Amino acid sequence: MQLLTQNILFRGLTRAEITDILSATPHTEKRYTTGEIIVRQGDIIHNIGILLSGSAVGKKYTPEGEEIIVSRLDTNKIFGDVLSGANGFASPVTVQAQTDCTVMLIDYQQLLFSSHPLTQRVLQNMIQNISLKYFAQNRRMDILMLKSVRAKVLAYLEWQRQIKGSNSFTIDLDRRLLADFLGVERSALSRELSRMKADGLIDCHKNNFTLFV
């Protein structure tokens, strides 16, 4: 339960308050093994999911069957918050366990109509998180509209510098996920990162970056 005090959904609440809220709100915990599907593209979502342990990825499949990774979920991240209140809209992504993981599933409707006095705080946190996701998606669209790989990389790294508040930072995406996020081929991304490093624009090692411009 201590983990949830650091979760955006329960921001500002104590461990005891979270325990009290959950005792009044239907929820379950499920274990998934590596590679197991947590949510399938096309499923109707009624629950808010919290990754209590492990990691997962969100992916889409094109009509041709091509797999595109669109997000990565680490421990204590939430998913399903947008769709759980969408009244029957199907999930546009598949969520798959990247490692063995444990997920808490909270019934959105039960949370929405709960009489617990602190539920309003949880719902406010949820709305704020949805807003942050919207602006992050909008920022990604701005990046995808850029023409060159270098322009996309620089725009993404500048965004991360603003978030981290430092010229040196660690990103959440590995090379494959970063290439998918930027809408470029992984080989093209690797070549461009090497060129940018040679040009003195960046330094990088795995997920660690320093931006010099």
The model's pLDDT over 19-41, given as tens digits with 9 standing for 90+, comes to 999 988 889 999 999 999 999 99
Q: pLDDT at residue 92 above 90? A: no
Q: Are residues 86 and 124 in the same domain?
A: yes
Which H or E element spans position 208?
strand 208-211
Q: Total structural domains in the chain?
A: 2
Q: pLDDT at residue 1 above 70? A: no
pLDDT category, 63, cuts 50, 70, 90? confident
Q: Are residues 117 and 153 in the same domain?
A: no
Mean pLDDT of 55-71: 82
Q: What is the mean pLDDT of the chain?
A: 90
Residue 71 lies in domain: 2-134
Q: Are residues 37 and 9 in the same domain?
A: yes
Is the residue at 153 inside a domain?
yes
Residue whose structure tokens are 């029957």: 88
Q: Is the pTM of this model over 0.75?
A: yes
Is the residue at 140 inside a domain?
no
Dig out the tokens for 164 from the structure. Answer: 């981290």
Beta bridge partners of 48: 106
Q: Are residues 37 and 120 in the same domain?
A: yes
Q: Are residues 92 and 151 in the same domain?
A: no
The span from the CA of 199 to the CA of 197, in Å, is 5
Mean pLDDT of 91-117: 91
Q: pLDDT at residue 65 above 80? A: no
In sequence order, the 6+-apart residues with CB closer than 8 A to the CB of 114 are 21, 24, 25
Dig out the tokens for 91 from the structure. Answer: 């999930």
